[in-house]
Amino acid sequence: MKLVNTPECLRSSEEPNVDLVAIANQFGATVNVRELGDGNINDTFLAFPDSQSPALNSARSATPFVLQRINTQVFQQPELVMQNMQAVTRHLHDRLQSDTRPQLLADRRWEVPHVLPTINGDNHWIAKDGSFWRAIAFVPNANCADALDNCDCAREVGTALGIFHALLSDLPATTLVDTLPGFHVTPQYLQTYDRVADTAVPTRSPEVEFCRRFIEARRANADVLEAAKARGHLPTRPMHGDPKANNILTDAVTGRAVSVIDLDTVKPGLIHYDIGDCLRSGCNPLGEETDCWESVCFEPELGVSLLQGYLFVARSFLTVNDREYIYDAIRLIAFELGLRFFTDYLAGNTYFKVKYPEHNLARSLVQFKLAESIEAQEPTIRAIVRDLS
């Protein structure tokens, strides 16, 4: 996430009636609220507590906190999202406090993005208009990047995902609820695409034709991970669901990874979707919002470093089968995200936030170009995984 440069006290320009300070006050006396980040689904703000407030006590410091409005069209059971987040953050916290704190974390700063209660002790607050709000601890002195430009950063991003998976590897997946059925089940996205493409007003442009042909050529491979799961080759585990590079924070001074944030999508699933998502986002130096989609490529040097970081930690719990499907995961998740963006473009931009009507089309082209580049480097990527295992 990037801190967006906005006026001191922000009232969302699209929603002049939303009093963000009043909403933030439900989580503790607040003087100021600013927009934070560029999420595609939820609305995120940074709230600054009133340091003069008598209500401020040792339980709540004057540190800013993250205030979020959950998109309840996407997360239709937001209470269950909170339940999953709390199950995961409690588990992370307990492991960090206990004797089972991994040796790897002995000399590493590691922060858990805890859920902060409302002044009434609840884990969320529902406004009069029905909107769903919650607060999360802000990790100070940390940065994130939408795209990675050097191998040290890539290694740290991979290490962070490895630590996250390692810390959760003893949490039974059954502890978590499937809050987003179908999320990261690629064949289901294909079914949705087929339904939407049948009814969408036909749009003809070279870019749209490129996307349609791209999808058709890869249809048969879309179930590679789901089929592996069905055959018992890949187990269901707690997954993050969205570990793209900018959801990993690094210490502002040392550059070492310190946290994995954005836990809305934690649920039972295949960690391969996480591995794929981390690589597809971390090894695309132009980033997923670039206008230069024709120049997008998967940078193998970044891939080596990211996988070095990940596998160094994850080799303790990954099986031979797990390693076998890492290449497929990287290819598939870029294809899947392109498919999701393209479907949403055809459907009239109802899921992802957009800044202009063709935004989702532009995003899908980036992901398809990335998938093409990953496919062209299959032997290299498979060799990287093999050599690191």
* Nearest residue to Mg ion on Cβ basis: 242
Question: Smallest distance, Å, CB 264 to Mg ion?
Answer: 6
Strand, coil or helix: 37 = coil
> How far apart are CB 71 and ligand GN1 at their closest, in Å?
8
Whether residue 167 contacts residue 92, with contact meaning beta carbons closer than 8 Å, is answered with: yes
Residue with smaller CB distance to ligand GN1, 181 or 232: 181
Q: Residue 261 or residue 381: which is nearer to ligand GN1 going by CB?
A: 261
155 is written with which tokens?
Answer: 């290694």
Rounded least distance, CB 178 to Mg ion, Å: 16
Q: Which is nearer to Mg ion, 317 or 352 (CB)?
A: 352
Residue 277 found at the interface with Mg ion (CB under 5 A): no
CB of residue 70 to ligand GN1, shortest distance in Å: 10
Distances (CA, A) of 343 to 38, 188, 209, 331, 337: 21, 12, 13, 18, 10
For the chain, the farthest-separated pair of C-alpha atoms sits apart, in whole angstroms, at 63
By beta-carbon proximity to ligand GN1, the closer residue of 25 and 360 is: 360
**Residue 288 interacts with Mg ion (CB under 5 A): yes or no:** no
Shortest Å distance, C-beta 364 to Mg ion: 18
If contact means CB under 5 to 8 A according to the sort of partner, which of ligand GN1, Mg ion, none does residue 250 touch?
A: none
Considering the complex, what minimum distance in angstroms separates the CB of residue 82 from ligand GN1? 15
* C-alpha to C-alpha distance for 309 and 159, rounded to whole angstroms: 4
| From the list Mg ion, ligand GN1, none, partner contacted by residue 251 (C-beta under 5 to 8 A by kind) | none
**For residues 342 and 369, is the Cβ–Cβ distance under 8 A?**
no
**Considering the complex, what minimum distance in angstroms separates the CB of residue 119 from ligand GN1?**
27
Q: What are the residues binding ligand GN1 (CB under 6 A)?
A: 39-41, 74, 242, 244, 262, 265, 288, 337
* Residue with smaller CB distance to Mg ion, 257 or 261: 261
Report the partner that residue 179 touches, choosing among Mg ion, ligand GN1, none (CB closer than 5 to 8 A by kind): none
CB 336 to ligand GN1: min, Å: 9
Q: Tell me which of ligand GN1, Mg ion, none is bound by residue 111, counting a contact when its beta carbon lies within the kind-specific cut-off of 5 to 8 angstroms.
A: none
74 binds, among Mg ion, ligand GN1, none (CB under 5 to 8 A by kind): ligand GN1
Q: In the range 217-276, which residues lie near Mg ion by CB under 5 A?
A: 242, 262
Nearer to Mg ion, 275 or 385 (CB): 275
Q: Residue 49 or 338: which CB sits closer to ligand GN1?
A: 338
Q: Which amino acid does the sequence have at 78?
A: P
For 387, counting Cβ atoms within 10 Å of its Cβ (0-12 exposed, 13-18 middle, 19+ buried), the class is: exposed
3-state SS, residue 316: coil
Nearer to ligand GN1, 74 or 362 (CB): 74
Query: In sequence order, which residues have a C-beta less than 8 Å from that of residue 69 and are 6 or more positions away?
Result: 42, 43, 131, 132, 133
What residue 337 binds from Mg ion, ligand GN1, none (CB within 5 to 8 A, per partner kind)? ligand GN1
Q: Is 251 helix (H, G, I), strand (E, B) or coil?
A: strand
Give the residue from 293, 272, 274 showing the smallest Cα distance to 372.
293
Task: Indicate the residue among 39 and 268 with the shorter CB distance to ligand GN1.
Answer: 39
Amino acid at 190: L
Minimum separation from the CB atom of position 224 to ligand GN1 (A)? 19
User: Which tokens go with 75?
Assistant: 């997360």
Cβ count within 10 A of residue 52: 9
Tokens of 284: 């695309």
Helix (H, G, I), strand (E, B) or coil at 300: helix
Number of chain residues interacting with Mg ion (CB under 5 A)? 2
Nearer to ligand GN1, 74 or 154 (CB): 74
The residue among 284, 307, 270, 288 whose CA lies nearest residue 157 is: 307
Tell me how far CA of residue 137 lies from CA of 38, 67, 217, 288, 299, in angstroms: 18, 9, 44, 27, 33
Cα(163)–Cα(13) distance, rounded to whole angstroms?
39
**Distance (Å, whole) CA 187 – CA 220:** 9
Tell whether residue 344 is a contact of Mg ion (CB under 5 A).
no
Closest separation in Å from C-beta 43 to ligand GN1? 10
Give residues in contact with Mg ion (CB under 5 A). Answer: 242, 262
